[in-house]
Amino acid sequence: MALTDEQKQFLADHDLAVLGTGKRDGSPQLSTVYYDWDGERVYISVTSDRAKWKNAMRQPAVSLLVPDGRKQLVVYGTAEGITDPDERDERVVALRARRGVEVTDRAALRREQDEANRVILAIRPERAFKND
């Protein structure tokens, strides 16, 4: 199911969400994250040693709750991992720009991302529900 224009706009208008992944034992794991939305996928920067990355790589069905007071958008989708440094760095630049942070030194960004073992979760929405 494609997202409605209203749902896409909601994602574009926000940048904070709660990511839900499945633990190995089947219980949910929730993490508050910043994200970027490019109109097709949601991108989240994580480190490869964290539960949210490991869970999503093992079980790619994830959920994302984007709150706005009592309004919210719940997105269900499939996560893919991005480990390519060039693509990762482009996504990080977009994530930072969305938060008003300009990246002026790409070499420093690359070192920072590599040292922190940063990777990107890319979530392709499959269905969503908006509550007003």
* Architecture of the domain made up of 5-131: Roll (2.30)
| Segment 47-85, tens digit of pLDDT | 999 999 999 999 999 999 999 999 999 999 999 999 999
CA gap 102, 124 in Å, rounded: 26
Q: H helices within 19-132, ranges in order?
A: 51-58, 85-98, 106-115
Report yes or no: 92 and 116 within 8 Å, Cβ to Cβ: no
- What is the domain partition of the chain in residue ranges? 5-131
Residue 132 confidence (pLDDT): 81
Around 15, how many Cα atoms within 13 Å sit in the side-chain half-sphere?
A: 10
Is the model's pLDDT at 1 over the cut of 70? Answer: no
| Segment 115-127, tens digit of pLDDT | 999 999 999 999 9
